[in-house]
Chains A and B, each alone.
Chain A
Amino acid sequence: MSYQQVKFYQTGTFTIGNRLLDEHNQTIQSQRDRTNSLNSGHRACQGCGEALGARYAVDAAMRAANKNLVAVNATGCLEVFSSPYPESAWQIPWMHSLFGNAPAVASGVAAAMRAKGKKETRVIAQGGDGATVDIGFGCLSGMFERNDDVLYICYDNEAYMNTGVQRSGSTPARAWTNTTQAVGTEPGNPSGIGKNLPAIAMAHHIPYVATASVADLHDLEAKVTKAMGFHGARYIHVHVPCPLGWKSDPALTIKVARMAVESGLYPLYEAEHGSVIDRTPIRRKVPVERYLELQGRFKHLFSDPPDVAGIAAIQAIADANIRRYGLVDQEVQGGT
């Protein structure tokens, strides 16, 4: 028998489940006793960032909660692709109610556990950006204000994807969606920074807020694990590329996410009780073009002639983040 040498490229990713790493550094997914809370067989698109993020996040939460966990899900991609009647990909107790009420439903589950003295049973709520920053915003703020014992995880793919790619309050400046099309004098989503939910969560002074990305799955796991160590309202915002809505290559989902982080457009940080306590520095800063050019939803910025002003405006957002969170030289300038 002849053997063929297989090369594994590990440039900054954790491929093949990190079996080459020490066990304590291995991700949960490579362990034999992984919970697989979101099991295979779900109907997510090829290259779905949300399916990837949810798998890691929920398994980390399960581990932290000694498998004593209930999940509440808002309507959206995750809910739809994980529960195609009559099947369910969930191996944990899981509830879907409505689009706008996941935070409230989760608050209710937590209250029931308190009433019944079941202190060990923990509760997470999950929703996309639409469910979180738009339609569920009121309920989410209420959950924060009451400090209900729920970890809310938002998977942000920056638009209403399950309904066919429409703009949400999280859609970034100049991005194409079906309701912000690349036509007219201002193609794409009007300029803005999107609704900054992590900052809003911090303004509620809840125990723990963090941003994470599928570009760094270990970091996501660590943040979920840390969040589970707190009681009270906690919020994690996860950046998850959507190949369909972003018109990106499904094979490049993790790279696209990394470019968002490395350009400064998606800062990674943690906050406790309203103040930032830590941030992940950018390893190799890249201009925003490296991120934008991978996505068809920004294609109109690179037409002939290119939209120099538009790209510059996006670069300005990235630069502002880098300054605010000290992502490059650790010097924080102004803001939170």
Chain B
Amino acid sequence: MKQQIEGSQAVAKTVALCHPEVAACYPISPQTHIVETLSRLVKAGEVGSCQFLNVESEFGALSVLIGASAAGARTYTATTSQGLLFMAEAVYNAAGLGLPIVMTIANRAVGAPINIWNDHSDSMAMRDAGWMQLFAEDNQGAVDLHVQAFRLAEELSCPVMVCMDGYILTHAVEAVDLLTQENVDAFLPPYDPVQLLDPSDPVSIGSMVGPDAFMEVRYLAHHKHLQALEAIPRIQKEFHQQFGRASGGLLESYKTEGAETIVVALGSVNGTIKDAVDDLRAEGLAVGAVKIVSYRPFPKYQLRQALGHAKRVIVVEKDLSVGKGGILSSEVKMAMRHLPVMVETVIAGLGGRAIPKASIVRVVHEALSEEGLEEPHFLDLNWDVINAELVRQQAKRRSGPTAENILREVGTLGVKAG
């Protein structure tokens, strides 16, 4: 039933419908509303025998779930940014052990400098750990992806992150079709573990693996993701049959037929991009968009199919590989191997910097112009501020903390006393 509801609450209610048995949570903005709502539902007895643990850190949270999942429980947590990095060791551990944990990432920038607003640097930092990473464009997508995530994780014995933009989606109130318990139960069977800590049938989980077998074990983890490239569209189809919506899948194309320029992105910015595409099409430009839903596994082949006919692909990404440039754009470029497609990198929206539709339109025009875009292109960067700070750093050795200097320049901080 459609309801005007906050994204976080919609997600929490949906997770509750999936019969989690152990949830361990540590609060961090902007995920707090999710864990608060889930804790209330558990305490009110609406989630069966689910155990909700308030833990001492994010590292503790995922560790609790590692034990619980190995003991056969369906498990869930949520985190972001600093919290995701704090549990980084456990993130790799969970994937390496093949435990089907589902975790919401309320995407947020990673400091320093400390920043609580949205970008994708957190989930990007964990992209190689072996978790599947699915990105939601809106809160309906977020809700639907969580249900699919439990299915996917348990089918393949591989943990899944559902990524939704912090504040932009978590704190947005919009219309969401909340699922019914009957439909969820028809779609999501009880968890049937591949490995289990069971006194009646003892196993040792977590042994050391040496040089003679490690490569094979890692290849098998990679193989799971290759299987997921087939499982994800299949699960999308089944979801469509059960719920009437084709949510999920690997990627989604928008007006790419006959498009010469295609904009590619992850997450909520795709909404703005679709509006920009409409404006550009109205101008007579052959522009389209592709939204990547499954970032891990990376849909190399499907991207090739979707983008291969274009002349130019503009990847708009909310992350930065410091010292190099784009992350997603490199991967898209790899997918376009041997094809005559130009792949541009646009770094945008870092630390919650707004991405106006007008800027997307402008950057497409710039890409199509004679001069083109530099590689990478930083969207809406304030070069005056940058240059002032560079001058400052050159002038004096003790130039002070960069962030503070810039904030003073931008006017957020007051004038220095004395």
Contacts and interface: CB of A to CB of B under 8 A. Distances in A.
Contact of A115 (B22, B54, B66, B210): B22
Nearest to B67: A108
Given A93-B202, A111-B51, A104 B60 contact: yes
B49 A83 contact: no
Q: Is the interface of A mostly helix, strand, loop or mixed?
A: mixed
B71 A113 contact: yes
A61 to B, nearest CB: 12
A195 interface: no
Interface string B192-212: 000011110111111111100
B207 A108 contact: no
A294 interface: no
A46 interface: no
Given A109-B197, A114-B49, A85 B208 contact: yes
A63 to B, nearest CB: 13
B24 interface: yes
Nearest to A91: B202
A185 B242 CA distance: 75
A141 B205 contact: no
Nearest to B51: A111
B154 interface: no
B73 A72 contact: no
| Interface bracket on A | 35 or more
B205 A105 contact: no
A90 B66 CA distance: 20
A186 B198 CA distance: 51
| Interface bracket on B | 35 or more
A121 B203 CA distance: 15
Contact of A112 (B60, B71, B206): B71
A117 B49 CA distance: 8
A97 B66 contact: yes
Interface in B40-95: 49-51, 53-57, 59-61, 63-73, 75, 89-90, 93
B55 A104 contact: yes
Given A70-B71, A92-B199, A108-B24, A98 B208 contact: no
Given A85-B210, A101-B59, A94 B202 contact: yes
Interface in A115-158: 115-117, 121, 138-139, 141-142, 145-146, 148
Contact of B64 (A83, A90, A105): A105
A107 interface: yes
Contacts of B90: 97-98, 101
Contacts of A114: 49, 51
B60 A83 contact: no
Contacts of A93: 196-199, 201-203
Contacts of A139: 56-57, 59-60, 63
Nearest to A72: B67
Contacts of A91: 202
A115 B73 contact: yes
Contacts of A18: none
A106 B206 CA distance: 14
Given A69-B199, A93-B198, A111-B22, A83 B204 contact: yes
Contacts of B199: 67-70, 92-93, 121
Which has the most chain B C-beta neighbours within 10 Å: A91, A95, A110?
A: A95
A298 to B, nearest CB: 32
B71 A108 contact: yes
Contacts of B205: 94-96
Nearest to A70: B197
A112 B73 contact: yes
B208 A116 contact: no
Contact of A95 (B49, B64, B70, B201): B70
Given A105-B64, A108-B22, A142-B57, A94 B49 contact: no
A-B pairs, top 9 by smallest CB distance, nearest first, are A108-B67, A142-B56, A96-B206, A104-B63, A101-B63, A105-B67, A112-B71, A112-B73, A108-B68
Interface of B: 21-22, 24, 49-51, 53-57, 59-61, 63-73, 75, 89-90, 93, 97, 196-199, 201-210, 213
30 contacts: A70-B199, A73-B206, A80-B208, A83-B207, A85-B209, A86-B207, A86-B213, A90-B204, A93-B197, A94-B205, A95-B197, A95-B206, A97-B206, A98-B89, A98-B90, A100-B89, A107-B67, A108-B24, A108-B65, A108-B73, A110-B67, A111-B24, A111-B73, A112-B22, A112-B67, A115-B49, A116-B71, A139-B59, A142-B56, A146-B54
